[in-house]
Amino acid sequence: MKQKIHTDGAPEALGPYSQAVLVGDQLFCSGQIPLDPATGELVSGGFEAQVERVFDNLAAVAAEAGMTLDDAVKVTIYMTDLAKFPVLNEIYAGRFSEPFPARATVGVASLPKGAEVEIDLVAARGAA
């Protein structure tokens, strides 16, 4: 049975979807963009700040389901500028531990609200 996961520690959904859905021991997180959950506005500070905010949002959603980012098994990243890939990798390596989740990174023309990055993930309870 699907269970909706919602936390005030991450921004409200921008459309008709859930922040995440828990099915058994698997958590399916919707894509997060770098919105401050308190204001609903894009964070300032450039690409690095945006990536950090996205991971903070995803960590808050995972925590609501009783998990951490270390429970992630699959991550998909959407970026508007793939030249910033090394910066993303540096931040990513600090947010996950070995064995790192499987990952796909996709270059896109644009993202909602002018974001430079969007990330979604799948986590499994006990994967850490």
**CATH number assigned to the domain comprising residue 115:** 3.30.1330.40
* The model's pTM: 0.96
**HSE on the CB side for 89, CA within 13 Å?**
7
Task: Assess whether pLDDT exceeds 80 at residue 128.
Answer: no
Residue 90 sits at φ, ψ, to 5 deg, of -65, -45
pLDDT of residue 13: 87
Q: In whole angstroms, what is the distance from residue 67 CA to residue 102 CA?
A: 17
- Averaged pLDDT for residues 97-112: 97
Tokens coding 39? 């204001």
Please say whether the beta carbons of 35 and 113 come within 8 A.
yes
DSSP state of 81: -
**Which range marks the domain in which residue 28 is found?**
2-124
Overall domain count for the chain? 1
pLDDT of residue 18: 96
Residue 86 identity: P
Instruction: Kindly report, residue by residue over 27-62, the tens digit of the pLDDT.
Output: 999 999 999 999 999 999 999 999 999 999 999 999
Instruction: Kindly report, residue by residue over 4-31, the tens digit of the pLDDT.
Output: 999 999 999 888 999 999 999 999 999 9
